[in-house]
Amino acid sequence: MSEIKDITSRDVDFAKWYTDVVTKANLVDYSTVKGSMIICPYGYAIWEEMQKVLDKMFKDTSHENMQMPLLIPESLLNIEKEHVAGFAPEVAWVTHGGKEKLDERLCIRPTSEVLFCDYYKKIIKSYRDLPKLYNQWCTIVRWEKTTRPFLRSREILWQEGHTMHATKEEALAETLRMLHIYEDFQKNYLAIPVIVGKKTEKEKFAGAVASYSLEAMMYDGVALQNGTSHYFGNGFAKAFGIEFLNKDNKLETPYQTSWGVTTRMIGSLIMVHGDDRGLVLPPKIAPTKVIIIPIGTSNEVNEALNTLEEELKEAEITYKIDNSPKTPGFKFAEAEVKGYPIRLEVGPRDLAENMFTIVRRDTLEKIRIPKNELISKIKEIFKVMQEDMYNKALERRNSMIYEAHDYQEFTSIALNKPGFIKANWCGDEACENKIKDDFNMKSRCLIEDEEIIGNCVCCGKKAEKRLYFGRQY
């Protein structure tokens, strides 16, 4: 089948396989606008499913959506020094409006901390005004040199949560609450196992006190950072002069967080679950859950389709019928490329026996089901499939995590085995830099629930922390 759609095998050339899948499944198309991609309807539908679930999770935890301006005046970006140092090199600058040169240039938001701070300053006066729990769904721009669909792009669709709190404790709790909401979403909807943890000082977000990330491992052992949640302390608040009167009528500075996930998660879905036939979507996030392929156009088939449509609609199972004039074989291959969780064949031979044939996309298993049990069976399969996909990904990931005790062992693993390496670390950035230079592996995040036995894997000095290392997209 895979020949029909001409997808490179993922074990032969993973990068080429990825590009083949994103384009043949019609998730994205290349644009003549350099560095930007066109998100095609099928790719966008996946993003809409993600938005629907996450937006509900945010609202259920009292966050409110709003919309900040797209453009940031240079002077506003400049207020927080670490932040501007981190972002200024990669922003797009607007210098002209129509024919006129602007007095002050404006950047297209690379992230919106400064815009929110500017707003907080106006609206936060008293402890009664806190907390502020905001989110926005929008586009950001970061002027990347090399780009790849969903993974690295000059333009990114994302959500950015921004909150402000009366106390340090509350802000820290919010940072972790949102991290765990992301974790829940990625595990239970995307069926992607993630390691969640704190970033090192070197890897944290520009201007943050602490950054936490969700680290997923792709099929090829390379890491994809699937989301971040940041605790800012009151650094931005101080730089912006945001203060509130506490219950004792004294001025205090509030504490801040921000957190975000992007369409990059679609890249993750592809690279964790996809196979040589194309995309494989977990049922809970697939925009179309069942693809129906009629075999022939007899009256029996058409009648069966009508009943089927009614049943699926009533059960709220999204479906599509492929009525195109292509051959069934071609339709099967196309259904596989697109990763629809279940393929349902409706043919005269099955119907004569009051049966349907369905095919699970993840296992390619063919299952014959009595007509009157179809809906309940499909629901059952979705449930099993969702769990199976998660467990399969978890098993593969776990099998590709190694422990290195010294630099020789680290070197041998790094050069021979794709995946993550767990290791002790002295806490010195020099060791992180050396590992980065030697193997192109960055620290992913701290491991905080394991005992530290032994010395730093790099310099051999006393270990203070444990880290995951991995190459990254």
Per CB under 8 A, the list member of 73, 348, 418, 454 interacting with its own copies is 73
Residue 227 beta carbon to its own copies: minimum distance, rounded to whole angstroms: 20
* Least distance between its own copies and beta carbon 71 (Å): 6
Q: Tell me how far, at minimum, the Cβ of 109 lies from its own copies, in Å.
A: 10
Identify which of residues 115 and 426 has a Cβ nearer to its own copies in the complex: 115
Cα 118 vs. chain centroid, distance in angstroms?
28
State yes or no: residue 37 binds its own copies (CB under 8 A).
Answer: yes
Name the nearest CA neighbour of 347 among 297, 412, 388, 286: 297
# residues contacting its own copies (CB under 8 A): 55
Shortest distance, position 325 Cβ to its own copies, whole Å: 9
Alpha carbon distance 103, 74 (integer Å): 11
> Cα separation of 470 and 349, whole Å?
52
What span, in angstroms and rounded, lies between the C-alpha atoms of 403 and 459?
A: 16
The residue within the footprint of its own copies, chosen from 6, 62, 122, 297 (CB under 8 A), is 122
Among 49, 113, 118, 350, binds its own copies (CB under 8 A): 118
Per the listing, tokens 């006129």 go with: 100
Alpha-carbon gap, residue 199 to 225, rounded angstroms: 11
Instruction: Give me the least distance between CB of 412 and its own copies, in Å please.
Output: 38
Q: Which of 74, 78, 143, 465 binds its own copies (CB under 8 A)?
A: 143
Does 91 interact with its own copies (rule: CB under 8 A)? yes
Q: Least distance (Å) from its own copies to the CB of residue 218?
A: 24
Question: Does the footprint of its own copies cover residue 108 (CB under 8 A)?
Answer: yes
99 interacts with its own copies by CB under 8 A: yes
Residue 361 Cα distances to 355, 388, 425, angstroms: 19, 12, 42
Answer for which of 1, 45, 172, 239 binds its own copies (CB under 8 A) is 45
We find the least distance from the C-beta atom of residue 108 to its own copies, in angstroms, to be 7
- Residue type at 467 in one-letter notation: L
Task: Rule CB under 8 A: say whether 90 interacts with its own copies.
Answer: yes
Shortest distance in whole angstroms from residue 61 CB to its own copies: 14
Please tell me whether residue 85 binds its own copies under the rule CB under 8 A: no
State how far the Cα of 135 lies from the Cα of 58, in Å rounded to an integer: 8
Among positions 115, 344, 381, 423, the unique one binding its own copies when judged by CB under 8 A: 115
Q: Which residues pair with 231 in a beta bridge?
A: 210, 257
Pick from 335, 313, 310: which is nearest to 324 by CA? Answer: 335
User: Whose Cβ is closer to its own copies: residue 37's or residue 346's?
Assistant: 37
Beta carbon nearer to its own copies, 39 or 413: 39
Instruction: Tell me whether residue 408 is exposed, middle or buried, using C-beta atoms within 10 angstroms of its C-beta: 0 to 12, 13 to 18, 19 or more.
Output: exposed
- Residue 88 as a binder of its own copies (CB under 8 A): the answer is yes
Using CB under 8 A as the binding rule, whether residue 77 contacts its own copies is answered as: no
Q: For the residues of 275-292, what is the DSSP string, one character each?
A: BTTB----TTT-SS-EEE
Q: Is 403 left (phi over 0), alpha (psi -120 to 50) or beta?
A: beta
Q: How far is the CB of 106 from its own copies (least distance, A)?
A: 7
Give DSSP secondary structure letters for 2-52: HHHHTPPPTTT-HHHHHHHHHHHTTSEEE-SSTT-EEE-HHHHHHHHHHHH
Q: 11, 48, 169, 464: which one contacts its own copies (CB under 8 A)?
A: 48
Binding site for its own copies (CB under 8 A): 29, 31-34, 36-41, 43-45, 47-48, 64-73, 76, 88-99, 105-106, 108, 115, 118-119, 122-123, 134, 138-139, 141, 143, 154-155, 157
